[in-house]
Amino acid sequence: MDVLIVGGDAALREGVLQSLRATGVTGEGCEDLSSAREMAVEEPPLALVVDAKLSTAQQGAGGIPLLPGVAVILFREDVRAARPTQQVFGRSLVAELSLPLERARLLTLLQRIVARARITGRDRRAPDPPLSP
C-alpha cells in the first residue's frame, strides 16, 4: 500500500482514494487509529494522511508503526478549527492541509512522495513512478 488515510469523513476519504487510484497510487482508508495500526503492521505505507483531530487525541497517533522516510500529512476538515498541532510525528510531518479546499495539493503531494520512494528504491513493489497528470 502506498498511502494510508486515517479519520475524516468517509466520503472525503473515498474521494481522495479514488483520485489516487486513477493516477496509479494504491491506498487504503480507515476510521480510527487502532485500525490504522493494524493495517500499517500488515503493510507499512509510504505516506500516512491523518485527521488532525486524531493526531491530538488522548490515544495519540504515535503508536502507528512507520518506516524510516515515511511522510505524514495532517488534514483538517474545518478551516476555522486550525490550531498548532503537537509534534507527535516529528520530522516525518510534511504538511498540514485543509480538506476539501486543498485536495489538489494533497493529491499532487502524495503522487510526488510515492514517485520519490519508488525512484530511490525504498519501494521495491513497483519499478516505475506513477505518471504525472
Task: Give the residue-averaged pLDDT of 113-131.
Answer: 70
Q: How far apart are CA 74 and CA 109, in angstroms?
A: 12
Q: Is the pLDDT of residue 133 over 60?
A: no
Tell me the residue range of the domain where 94 lies.
3-120
Specify if 126 maps to a domain: no
Any idea what the CATH number is for the domain that residue 98 is in?
A: 3.40.50.2300
Task: Give the residue-averaged pLDDT of 3-17.
Answer: 91
Number of domains present in the structure of the chain: 1
Phi, psi of 111 (to 5 degrees): -60, -40
What pLDDT score was predicted for residue 58? 45
70-111 pLDDT tens trace: 888 888 887 665 565 556 666 678 888 888 889 899 999 999
Specify if 26 maps to a domain: yes
Could you tell me the three cell numbers for 114?
510515492
Helices 10-22 and 103-120: angle between axes, nearest 10 degrees: 50
Specify if 125 maps to a domain: no
Specify if 17 maps to a domain: yes
- Whole-prediction pTM: 0.80
Specify if 128 maps to a domain: no
- 44 — alpha (psi -120 to 50), left (phi > 0) or beta? beta
